[in-house]
Structure 1
Amino acid sequence: MRVHINQVCEGCIISKEVYSISHRPLIRKSTVLNQDLLQILRAFLIDEVEVEPFLNNGTAFKPAGASLVSRARSADNDSAAEIRQNTDFSVMYLQAVQAYKKLYLDWQSGALVDISKIRSLLIPAVENGLNQPDEIFKTYHYSKTDEYLYHHSVSVALLSAYLGKRLGFSHGDTIQLAMTGLLCDCGMTKLDQGFVSKKIALTDKEYKEIKQHPVYSYKMLKNIVSLKEAVKVGVLQHHERLDGSGYPLGVKTDQLHPFGKIAALADTYQAMISERPYRNRQSPFKVLEQLMQDEFGKFDLTALNELKKGLLKFSSGTNVRLSDGRKAEIVFVEDQYPTRPLIKVDETSEIVALKDHRHLFIDEII
């Protein structure tokens, strides 16, 4: 929906890129507006913006005052149906985040983990996401630094389910994998929340304490008879690594449960691509490169390959945004360099081989 700048508020989600008078991108699609961004829009004399019909907490956006100018995004019925479907997933995801936030705050107050509540908030979002998996790879757009932990847990759950399905797990085990991803950080509620949400790097002492959260999470779950042992072990092992470099136990390879291996990859990937209180987000494509190269040998290779396939569903003709903000079109993808294809820059029609420009990379598909 298109609304006047005076009608938008914090929590509105931009549905179409906002450009300055000089035609430079000002705010990207799927950005969640806050007070700073609202001031930027006014400073650049932006009169109207396109926003989603829901806020980032999953509730409907109801602008006050003047009537809204609605635009059809496509005359094609199939495209319209796809937009409605995607909106449904976005709402489900955001509602799941807010439901998880409530549970997290309850756990901080001493409440026990209620598996029936976990299933109620998670299963609808998982099943919807598995029907349109491309949306699972976009949830980082909705995350805000002050609610990072809640978005992270739900995103890890969804990605864990996706990887499980791609690896041939049964539907029941896929749901269990999602529960593993969601519950990995429940033990964070037993830590000092001051440094859980700290906006600068942790001290050695604080990091040592943070590294105990898988143990706290496991202890919160170990006596729940309705929860599979595989979930509990997966939660305990989600920071372990195949080469033994992880924590809290330093176990490796065949000592790791499949649930733990999948949760480890999903947790690391989502953490690296998300905006965090003390660190900016990284490009999903840059993160994939790091996982495949710098972190090689630490994560399950079959799961990593499925992550790569899911993220790299692009081909010649796909439009992308580069790390320097420029838009480009993919011309050719080499099997040896899947994250660094040959691209044509929109503004100049220059052909660039990203494999020869290590400082430049794909930021996202547009």
Structure 2
Amino acid sequence: MARAPAPLLLLALLAALAAAAGANAAGRKMVGVYELRKGDFSVKVTNWGATLTSVVLPDCKGNLADVVLGYDTIADYVNGSYYFGALVGRVANRVANARFVLDGKVYHLVPNDGKNALHGGKRGFSKVIWTVKDYVGGGDSPYITLYYHSFDGEEGFPGDLDVYVTYRLSGRYELSLHMNATALDKATPVNLANHAYWNLAGQGRGDILGHTVQLFASRYTPVDGALIPTGAVVPVAGTPYDLRAPTPVGAHVRAIYGGKAGIYGYDTNYAVDGGAGAAALRKVAVVRDGGGSGRAMELWANQPGVQFYTGNFLKDVKGKGGKVYGQYGALCLETQGFPDAVNHPNFPSQIVRPGQVYRHDMVFKFSF
């Protein structure tokens, strides 16, 4: 298949990018934005943080809109703190007290969420430059494959790790993500996640409280005030966490304590029905815009958990095209291993041993 033309935006790495990426060879790479297009369906990805920057698709009247939150410039992604569209790791979500014990050895991570480590630490995978290994922007199955080598001791994690992610337009209105990571020399925890913020009415077009959400999960993992799991896995039945039937996001959002005083909303890991084995794709969620767009999204994945987050901490964030994002301006569905699994032996293990390969597949199926 013929190669697509050069990326839409290709710019020399500024001093700010070099500082953020560290003084190494990666800091001298180029950062670009790459488009995948199939008819009126298009996606853009940047190799800064392997980040999904836009998803444009029609509504029921044929009107196009971008349905993921983000920024206008790479510099904004470098300086941003919301992980818009990012590929987060080496371990997504929180690790309590930024420490864990593996094979009898204590590892200390870099804390960046109070005393805890969040989304891989201060310089997680969302804050580095990935190498573009392959890129085909058009045709029947447009895709981009990105690569990152995480070195032994990066942010405190053990062992060298080779990481790949492929974004692909795998169907007419279908976006698939395939992530894999190979531990080269030491056992290490791996838990990658995509952190896209979705508003099916269009980014910046109000809140998502009228969206309906259905999660195929009958249990969830309760957390403490710092959003650290207690270790329990409990039924959703009879609680505001029960989203097994299509439910407006706003129906119970203010009954859910979001982890900080005065902040309410879902920021919750659900145990996806179908077992803990990360092999076959399972239906995770269905989201529908409650407004006039008619857009809907199905999410399928092979991970044991999904973090449902309702944008509780968004406040006056300047986004794409001058839009300003407020609280509940989008929702996230981050398929993942259970948070803090390294400190809870009863959770599905996220440990990858030398020569083993971690695999994480996601498929977003859109309709309108």
Q: Does TM, normalized by the shorter one, top 0.5?
A: no
Q: Which has the larger radius of gyration?
A: 1
Pick the structure with more strand per residue: 2
Which structure has more RCO (C-alpha within 8 Å, separation ≥ 6)?
A: 2
Q: Calculate the TM-score normalised by the size of structure 1.
A: 0.28
Pick the structure with more helix per residue: 1
